[in-house]
């Protein structure tokens, strides 16, 4: 078990900062477009029950179609699911991202999904995010998996990009700085249903879960 203050120190070391209650902001020339997050790290230990409650909130986000539709297995086929789609089905137009996970073998994801920090204001327009569009690495497959399976994957450095607890927190912070896919998931625009909650709440839950030692359901 890790105290919140110790976790804050670890995050600070990674980011080259120090202290608790760390604030981050990023804008693309327009202050109104800034994404502000604060790593809230109050003193005291975080119990397993608190950690599991935080995990359930995290799972509600990562299992939402805005996130899980591009976290698929080695079929390399993104999914269409969610209230507006009815029954879940593979992405239209026979899209397959290939082993490259970016569509390099046939049709790049970036043909229709745009790398840009411009707002997603227009219904039916191509979605914008601050990274090249792609499927998540196959090791990060979430679609159709239950809470315990996804939990074990996210905490496993061999299947989460080599991240420890502080690295998972930093991943969310960095995403906000460049307005990438997590940021888009909470504000997809264009009439799309967003992931539940807010990015700040998601960050708070990640801090709580990692401080509790990353407990998973059923253990």
Residue 188's pLDDT band, with cuts at 50, 70 and 90, is: very high
Q: Give CA–CA dist 167/32, Å, rounded.
A: 28
Instruction: Give me the pLDDT at residue 41, please.
Output: 78
| Residue 148 φ/ψ region, left for φ over 0, alpha for ψ in the -120 to 50 degree band, beta for the rest | alpha
Compute the chain's Rg from CA coordinates: 17
Alpha-helical segments (H) within the chain: 4-15, 48-62, 65-68, 147-155, 165-178, 181-186, 199-211
Asked if residue 143 lies in contact with residue 79, where contact means CB atoms within 8 angstroms, the answer is yes
- Token pair 């397959």 is found at 96
Q: Give CA–CA dist 66/57, Å, rounded.
A: 15
Mean pLDDT of 126-144: 95
Q: Does pLDDT of 6 surpass 80?
A: no
Strand partners, 90: 79
Q: Give CA–CA dist 107/68, Å, rounded.
A: 21
Instruction: Give me the pLDDT at residue 152, please.
Output: 98
Report the predicted TM-score, pTM, of the whole model to 2 decimal places: 0.87
Tell me: the pLDDT tens digits for 12-36?
A: 544 443 334 445 444 443 433 557 8
Instruction: Give me the pLDDT at residue 73, please.
Output: 96
Handedness of CA 61, 66, 70, 72 (dihedral sign): positive
144 to 48, 67, 162, 183: CA distances (angstroms): 26, 12, 23, 22
Q: Give CA–CA dist 65/182, Å, rounded.
A: 12
Instruction: Give me the pLDDT at residue 15, please.
Output: 45
Please report, rounded to a whole number, the percentage of residues in the chain having pLDDT higher than 70: 84
Instruction: Give me the pLDDT at residue 122, please.
Output: 86
Tell me: the pLDDT tens digits for 61-88?
A: 999 999 999 999 999 999 999 887 788 9
Q: Give CA–CA dist 127/110, Å, rounded.
A: 10
Tell me: the pLDDT tens digits for 39-53?
A: 987 568 899 999 999
Tell me: the pLDDT tens digits for 157-175?
A: 999 999 999 999 999 999 9
Higher pLDDT among residues 8 and 172, named by residue: 172
Tell me: the pLDDT tens digits for 89-100?
A: 999 999 999 999
Average pLDDT in the chain = 86
Please report, rounded to a whole number, the percentage of residues in the chain having pLDDT higher than 90: 69
């Amino acid at each position: 078990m890790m105290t919140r203050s110790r976790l804050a120190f670890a995050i600070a070391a990674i980011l080259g900062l120090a202290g608790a209650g760390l604030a981050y902001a990023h804008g693309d020339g327009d202050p109104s477009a800034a994404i502000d997050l604060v790593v809230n790290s109050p003193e005291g230990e975080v119990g397993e029950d608190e950690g599991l409650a935080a995990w359930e909130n995290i799972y509600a986000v990562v299992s939402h179609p805005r996130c899980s539709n591009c976290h698929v297995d080695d079929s390399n086929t993104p999914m269409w699911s969610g209230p507006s789609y009815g029954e879940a089905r593979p992405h239209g137009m026979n899209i397959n991202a290939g082993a490259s996970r970016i569509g390099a073998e046939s049709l790049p994801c970036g043909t229709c999904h745009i790398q840009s920090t411009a707002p997603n204001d227009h219904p039916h327009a191509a979605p914008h995010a601050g990274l090249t569009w792609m499927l998540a690495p196959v090791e990060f497959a979430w679609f159709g998996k239950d809470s315990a399976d996804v939990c074990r994957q996210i905490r496993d450095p061999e299947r989460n990009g080599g991240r420890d607890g502080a690295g998972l927190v930093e991943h969310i912070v960095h995403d906000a700085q460049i307005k990438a896919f997590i940021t888009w998931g909470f504000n997809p625009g264009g009439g799309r249903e967003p992931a539940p909650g807010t990015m700040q709440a998601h960050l708070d839950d990640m801090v709580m879960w990692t401080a509790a030692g990353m407990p998973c359901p059923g253990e």
